[in-house]
Amino acid sequence: MIPRYTRPEMGAIWTEEAKFASWLEVEAAALDAWAEEGSVPAEAAEALRRRGAFTVDRIEEIEAEVDHDVIAFVTCVAENVGMPEGRWVHYGLTSSDVVDTALALRLVRATDLLVEDFDRLVALCVAAAFRWRDTPMAGRTHGMHAEPTTFGHTCAVWAHAADRARSRLRRAREMIRVGKLSGAVGTYSQIPPGVEAAVCTRLGLEVEAASTQVVARARHAELLAQLALAATACEQIALELRHLQRSEVGEVAEPFGTRQKGSSAMPHKRNPITAERICGLARLMRGWAAAGLEDVALWHQRDISHSSVERVVLPDATICLDYMAERTARLVAGMEVRPDVMLENMERTYGAMFAQNVLLGLVATGLDRDPAYRIVQTAARQAFEERRHLREVLKETPAVTDALTPAEIDALFDTDRMLGRLDPVFARLEDLRTPG
């Protein structure tokens, strides 16, 4: 991932230095397990712990000759351990024993950071929901005024979307928390199952139930799918803010610094650039999920077609989502909410948002639904064309006044009454105040 979208803590997991360090963790754990089993001298395991080291430059120098990164790594480490102990490095292992098990370690660490990101995002959305709980605004379906809602209700929807993303990330963490040290085709021909079990226990991993030369790639595909779904939770928030910031709406705006500039040509512009960036990055995330699915089916016990994909998509997807979650949290924390504009916009359709209330009110008096629907539909169109409130048009419509008194008509346009049943939504939101 380019530096622009890479936060330091997540980026550090995916450096070459960190990759080889995780490989060394696996190699050291394997020698410890071999030594405990009695097949390798204890001095070899101790020597690897004391002197096992590498430099990225030296590994790259060796790889330039041998064209194999794991061999280059093992050679470099063995050089530092020295002989005779160095000859035991990588004993009984195949490359994927090290690479896949170490990859699991880094993916678990990356996913832990992402869960922390979504902890913060959920908390911010919950706080916003309660803050704006009673702030009415136009609800919109198909981009058109529907019925009234509150901005707090909108934020509550965001909070639950972010919480579902967090839950899926936790499940994906467990799916990916798996290692294997079962040899070239997964048959333990050169390494006993006890060594594999001991290594995975040391590293906090589960053992792959039935591995080939590699851990099942469906695990990585599931992780990438969950990362993409989590990205859509960020996109959902960002897209809503983009729509609400449009000049014709103007109800909410993303944060804008005092020295920030919106356009090189037009000084008046205050563009939703962060929200747009989040939506754009979500497209990348979905593409990486598709790449993960393509990696699941491999030839026989393994081919290498998945490797080149994973070198790109796993670091990039975790780095990208980390950035998206942080930026989305920043949007929610700093958004400018304009309740007065929300009220003004509610009047743009002259009370049409209460049309269903009127429809049901007429049905309750004994009118059949279809005639009642036509009466309200005609009145709403008339109100819009004449730029008068629907309430007043209804009071001049005989089919309505024959069924309802003026006071009963007025009662159908009570915003508080329409929004008075949101308590269960916010009761359920209370459960998200405490992470987990």
Does 257 score more than 80 pLDDT?
A: no
Distances (CA, A) of 270 to 4, 242, 254, 266, 326: 21, 11, 9, 9, 21
Say how far apart CA 100 and CA 102 lie, in whole Å: 5
To the nearest 10 degrees (0 to 180), the angle between helices 69-81 and 16-37 is 60
**Of all helices (H) and strands (E), which one includes residue 335?**
none
Say how far apart CA 240 and CA 143 lie, in whole Å: 11
The predicted model gives 103-118 an average pLDDT of 98
Phi-psi group of 231: left, alpha or beta (phi > 0 → left; psi -120 to 50 → alpha; rest → beta): alpha
Beta-sheet pairing, 178-179 with 206-207: parallel
Of residues 68, 189, 263, 305, which has the active-site annotation? 263
In this structure, are residues 335 and 253 in contact, taking their beta carbons and an 8 Å threshold?
yes
Domain 94-254+269-341 is of which CATH architecture? Answer: Up-down Bundle (1.20)
Token code pair at residue 342: 């929300």
Within 13 A of 395's CA, how many CA atoms are on the CB side?
A: 14
Q: What phi and psi values does residue 10 have, to the nearest 5 degrees? A: -70, -40
Q: Which residues of 271-283 are buried (b: 16+ CB within 10 A; e: fewer)?
A: ebebbebbbebbe
Angle at 51 between CA 50 and CA 55, to 5 degrees: 135
Among the listed residues 153, 146, 157, the one whose alpha carbon sits nearest the alpha carbon of residue 345:
146
Among the listed residues 412, 341, 351, the one whose alpha carbon sits nearest the alpha carbon of residue 386:
351
Instruction: Work out the number of other CB atoms within 10 angstroms of the CB of residue 259.
Output: 5
What is the structure's pLDDT at 254? Answer: 93
Of residues 142, 247, 264, 268, which has the active-site annotation? 142
Task: Give me the amino acid identity at 231.
Answer: A
Contacts of residue 133, defined as CB under 8 A and 6 or more positions apart, other chains included, come to 150, 152, 153, 422, 426
In this structure, are residues 174 and 226 in contact, taking their beta carbons and an 8 Å threshold?
no
The predicted model gives 81-88 an average pLDDT of 94
Confidence of residue 431 (pLDDT cuts 50, 70, 90): confident
57-69: pLDDT as tens digits: 999 999 999 999 9
Q: How many helices (H) and strands (E) does the chain have?
A: 19, 6
Does 327 score more than 80 pLDDT?
A: yes
What is the structure's pLDDT at 264? Answer: 78
CATH for 352-412, among 1.10.40.30, 3.40.190.10, 1.10.10.10, 3.30.70.80? 1.10.40.30
SS3 137: strand
Does 332 score more than 90 pLDDT?
A: yes
Say how far apart CA 288 and CA 85 lie, in whole Å: 42
198-219: pLDDT as tens digits: 999 999 999 999 999 999 999 9
What is the structure's pLDDT at 433? Answer: 77
Confidence of residue 435 (pLDDT cuts 50, 70, 90): low
Establish whether 243 is a catalytic residue.
no
CATH classification of 1-91 is 1.10.275.10, yes or no? yes
Q: What phi and psi values does residue 6 have, to the nearest 5 degrees? A: -110, 120
In this structure, are residues 34 and 195 in contact, taking their beta carbons and an 8 Å threshold?
yes
In this structure, are residues 169 and 230 in contact, taking their beta carbons and an 8 Å threshold?
yes
Angle at 161 between CA 155 and CA 164, to 5 degrees: 145
Establish whether 263 is a catalytic residue.
yes
Say how far apart CA 389 and CA 377 lie, in whole Å: 14
In this structure, are residues 150 and 134 in contact, taking their beta carbons and an 8 Å threshold?
yes
Angle at 95 between CA 93 and CA 97, to 5 degrees: 60
What is the structure's pLDDT at 83? Answer: 94
In this structure, are residues 93 and 297 in contact, taking their beta carbons and an 8 Å threshold?
no
Please determine whether the domains at 94-254+269-341 and 352-412 fall in the same fold group of CATH.
no
In this structure, are residues 121 and 333 in contact, taking their beta carbons and an 8 Å threshold?
no
Q: Is 354 exposed, middle or buried (0-12, 13-18, 19+ CB in 10 A)?
A: buried
Name the average pLDDT for the chain.
Answer: 95
140-180: pLDDT as tens digits: 999 999 999 999 999 999 999 999 999 999 999 999 999 99
Say how far apart CA 383 and CA 348 lie, in whole Å: 11
Phi-psi group of 145: left, alpha or beta (phi > 0 → left; psi -120 to 50 → alpha; rest → beta): beta
**CA quadruple 115, 121, 124, 126: dihedral positive or negative?**
negative
Q: What is the pTM of this model?
A: 0.93
Taking the domains of the chain in order of start, what are their residue ranges? 1-91, 94-254+269-341, 352-412
Query: What DSSP character marks residue 360?
Result: H
Angle at 29 between CA 23 and CA 31, to 5 degrees: 105
SS3 120: helix
Confidence of residue 260 (pLDDT cuts 50, 70, 90): confident
Contacts of residue 46, defined as CB under 8 A and 6 or more positions apart, other chains included, come to none
Say how far apart CA 74 and CA 82 lie, in whole Å: 12
